[in-house]
Amino acid sequence: MTTIAGEGTTRQRIRDAALALFGAAGYDGTSVRDIAARAGVSPALVIHHFGSKEALRAECDALIVDEVLGRKESLHGAEAGDLASTMQRWLADVEAHRASLDYLARMITDDSPAGDRLFDDLVQRTEAMLEQGVASGMMRESLDPRMTALIVAAHGLVPLLLERHLGRAVGEPGLSAALVRRMTLPTLELYTHGLYRSTVILEAAEAALSGTLDTSRGPRSDKGAGDPNQDPDPPATPASTL
């Protein structure tokens, strides 16, 4: 089939217009006519290239996932990435990536099958990235790889979903360059070194969840069984007084 001159550029322009409008106004709040007007084409041309608004959204979803995690065929190569590192890159130049940031935040929180698919794809590919990291020796093996992938993906989305609160907490207007700069090292430090210096809390939780923790005498205080910060056991009651 002969390619029409400028077809690729027109298709890309339509997709970029949809990406910006879906992110700003939501899927339901954006019409094909709106997209066509922003792209400088007719509504009929939008349908010609994509078939439907839903199909156009699906392509926008795929583009965002590829930007976040790298293309599927590159998952085991140098271009492979993860949500947290992509968020750092995007947030380093918020305005340049504003359309992508708004789209991702809007679609992830959208109560729709498409939003569910987008989140599921992010988690699935984060899990694949973590598996590759473990295989290469760069990452530690997790007790629950699926849940670890969910946590990492969710952590990467936090700056988008809590943009206003993060900025407000440190006196910045949302995701400013100063806020992103301040977040970078603590985020990497947390992933690299962890938080706790001892395994006592992890071991107590493992014991409690496996049912091997000795709780026969009940909790030692109102802080709950297995809490390493509990108060000492109360004095035993002499048998003669019972």
Q: Place 7 in a pLDDT band, splitting at 50, 70 and 90.
A: low
Highest mean pLDDT among 88-97, 111-120, 204-213: 204-213
Calculate mean pLDDT across residues 64-85.
55
What pLDDT sits at residue 195? 92
| Cβ-count burial 100-127 (b if 16+ within 10 Å, e if not) | bbbbbbbbbebeeebbeebbebbbbbbb
At residue 77's C-alpha, the angle toward residues 71 and 79, to 5°, is 50
Highest mean pLDDT among 1-10, 24-33, 100-109, 122-131: 24-33
**pTM of the entire structure?**
0.65
> What is the Cα–Cα distance from 133 to 93, expressed in whole angstroms?
27
Closest C-alpha to 130, from 166, 81, 200: 81
What pLDDT sits at residue 21? 94
Question: Is a pLDDT exceeding 50 seen at residue 130?
Answer: yes
Q: 176 or 133: whose pLDDT is higher?
A: 133
Calculate mean pLDDT across residues 56-75.
71
Q: Place 76 in a pLDDT band, splitting at 50, 70 and 90.
A: very low
Is 223:230 a contact under the CB 8 Å cutoff?
yes
